[in-house]
Amino acid sequence: MTTLNFPKDFIWGVAASAYQIEGAWNEDGRGESIWDRYIHAPYHIQTGENADLACDHYHRMSEDVGLIKQFGFPYYRFAISWSRVVPTGEGPANKKGLDFYDRLVDELLKAGVQPKTTLYHWDLPQNLQDKGGWPNRNTADRFAEYARFVFDRLGDRVRFWSTHNEPWVAAFLGYGTGLHAPGICDYSQAYQAVHHLLLAHGKTVQVFREGGYKGEIGLILNLNGLIPASNSQADIDATQRVHDETHALFLDPIFKGEYPQRLFDFIGTHQPTVKAGDVELIHQPMDYMGLNYYNTDIVSFDVFAGLNKARITPYSAAGWGRTDMNWGIDPDGLKRELIYVKENYGNPKLYVTENGCALPDAPDENGFVADWERIHYIKSHIHSLHKAIEAGVNVNGYFVWSIFDNFEWERGYGPRFGLIRVDFETMQRIPKQSAYWFSEVAKQNSISI
């Protein structure tokens, strides 16, 4: 057995998002979000479930922080619900909404846990969607206002901030394929949403700097591995298009101050309107980038496959099967993505802000889940991350998705990602084997392989 040690100040943490765990969707002045509207209409969620209660974290916050403390997870990455803080997305802040996050931050710090706070994890206030949503430029300004309320209230204690989580998902699943709220199928809107999400990021970083708030602010991107299905030029070009849409479309404006022209040429009339000065705002320096990595896809050219004419199928490295999401497993893909960002974008400071897997977790009669497969998955990805450090990547932390089993968007409560099982009948939290294992990893700052 070999022990792989991590750098002294390497960060270990667990992650969750607001809509997936909080519940209390209409309490204490919280406004309706696009996910509430979407989910309350039929046939949007595979299982017909909703997130009105989710993990009931809003009412069980102290118990949940107690669990994070018990396991000694040093960092907790959570998201803030915009419509809890600004119910209609515009106008004054809702004191009770801010109070909730204020208490959460206090309880975390009292428990010795560092908060890492995400401002947007996909739950736009419905009122702003009624006015056009992310394709409407006005939304970017409203976002920066909301961010200022949060900085003002929590900025004296929170030192780690993210503007957006996975803007690709918010734009392309929300406005392109319509798989996520608000369920719109229109690639012109999707591309315009991308630009305004990035603009909102830029404006928010500006607010953060001008306000003199302390700590780090950055953006979190989901970067999948991509492999052409064959050596044919058509498959290679299809892979390039998917890569441009998922990687360059976000990384280029942020790190290089330009949008990828090759992609814009291909999508033609779907190109977004970009005003003078916008890209400069997006390009301003941020303190780190968060990278979410789960899997690698095989890409083939197919005229029947959407705007990109690119069909995606899951890839699994030798010896690995598929997860409960029907995603393949490719631990080395994490190292490749980290090295890709290092080599093409000036070796920025990185964190792996999400990684984990949904498995069909079978509980014993006490509800305990001996999830050795999840441990194997997470350990293999941490090993891959370690190889990236050895290759000179400036990666400074790793967060497991997720602390709890939770509401997995269009799939409802089927896929379970948690280190801690949630019995959705009783709301009982039951730590899995992986929670004990990851707790030890964080304590030792190492893994044994």
Long-range contact pairs involving 248-251 (C-beta distance under 8 Å, separation at least 24): 249/168, 249/194, 250/167, 250/168, 250/194, 250/198, 250/219, 250/221, 251/221, 251/341, 251/344, 251/345
Shorter beta-carbon distance to ligand GCO: residue 197 or 281? 197
CA distances from 178 to 47, 189, 195, 247, 295 (A): 17, 11, 18, 21, 22
| 299 residue type, one letter | V
Q: Does 296 interact with ligand GCO (rule: CB under 6 A)?
A: no
Q: Buried b vs exposed e over 159-186: b needs ≥16 C-beta within 10 Å?
A: ebbbbbbbbbbbbbbbbbebebbbbbee
Q: Which residue shows structure tokens 């690995």? A: 320
- Helix ranges (DSSP H) in 167-260: 167-168, 187-210, 233-243, 249-251
User: Does the annotation mark 166 as catalytic?
Assistant: yes
Does position 222 interact with ligand GCO (CB under 6 A)? The reply is yes
Span near ligand GCO by CB under 6 A; candidates 146-154, 165-173, 259-267, 429-437? 165-173
Of the candidates 32, 56, 337, 408, which one interacts with ligand GCO according to CB under 6 A?
408
Q: What spatial distance separates the first Cα and last Cα of the chain, rounded to whole Å?
A: 6
110: CB partners within 8 A, 6+ apart? none
* Burial class, 28, CB count within 10 angstroms (exposed 0-12 / middle 13-18 / buried 19+): middle
Is residue 17 part of the contact set for ligand GCO (CB under 6 A)? Answer: yes
Using the rule CB under 6 A, is 361 a contact of ligand GCO? no
Which one of the listed residues 22, 32, 245, 354 is annotated catalytic? Answer: 354
Q: CA dihedral defined by 135, 136, 137, 143, rounded to 10 degrees?
A: -90
Compute the least distance from the CB of residue 414 to ligand GCO, in Å. 11
Question: Could you tell me the smallest distance in angstroms from the CB atom of residue 364 to ligand GCO?
Answer: 25
- Give whichever of 292 and 300 is closer to ligand GCO, judged by the CB atom: 292
Cα separation values, 67 from 61, 62, 175, Å: 10, 9, 37
**Active-site residue flag, 354:** yes
Nearer to ligand GCO, 71 or 293 (CB): 293
Which of 160, 177, 170, 287 minimizes the C-alpha distance to 222? 170
Q: According to the binding rule CB under 6 A, does residue 266 interact with ligand GCO? A: no
Residue 292 contacts ligand GCO per CB under 6 A = yes
DSSP letter (8 states) at residue 99: H
Cis amide linkage into residue 439, ω under 30° from 0: no
> CA torsion sign, 97 to 159 to 434 to 382?
positive
Q: Out of 64, 166, 252, 405, which residue is the one contacting ligand GCO (CB under 6 A)?
A: 166
Nearer to ligand GCO, 79 or 393 (CB): 79
Site for ligand GCO in 413-442 (CB under 6 A): 417
The interface region with ligand GCO, picked from 163-171, 194-202, 209-217, 439-447 by CB under 6 A, is: 163-171
Which of 168, 266 has the CB closer to ligand GCO?
168
Tell me how many residues contact ligand GCO (CB under 6 A).
11
Q: What stretches of 284-346 show up as alpha helix (H) in DSSP?
A: 331-344
The rounded distance, in Å, linking the Cα atoms of 250 and 144 is 19
Choose between 12 and 399: whose C-beta lies nearer to ligand GCO.
Answer: 399
Catalytic option among 22, 32, 107, 166: 166
Quick note: the x/- pattern for ligand GCO over 69-108, rule CB under 6 A, is ----------------------------------------
**Which amino acid, 13?**
G
| Cβ count within 10 A of residue 449 | 12
Do 370 and 364 meet the contact criterion of CB atoms below 8 Å apart?
yes
The CB-of-265 to ligand GCO minimum distance in angstroms stands at 29
Determine which residue in the list 33, 129, 165, 246 makes contact with ligand GCO, applying CB under 6 A: 165
Single out the residue of 354, 361, 371, 405 in contact with ligand GCO (rule: CB under 6 A). Answer: 354
405 binds ligand GCO (CB under 6 A): no
* C-beta of 235 vs 371, nearer to ligand GCO: 371
Give 166 or 244: the residue with its C-beta nearer to ligand GCO: 166
Question: Of the candidates 301, 401, 413, 438, which one interacts with ligand GCO according to CB under 6 A?
Answer: 401
* Residues annotated as part of the active site: 166, 354
Interacting residue ranges for ligand GCO, rule: CB under 6 A: 17, 20, 165-166, 169, 222, 292, 354, 401, 408, 417
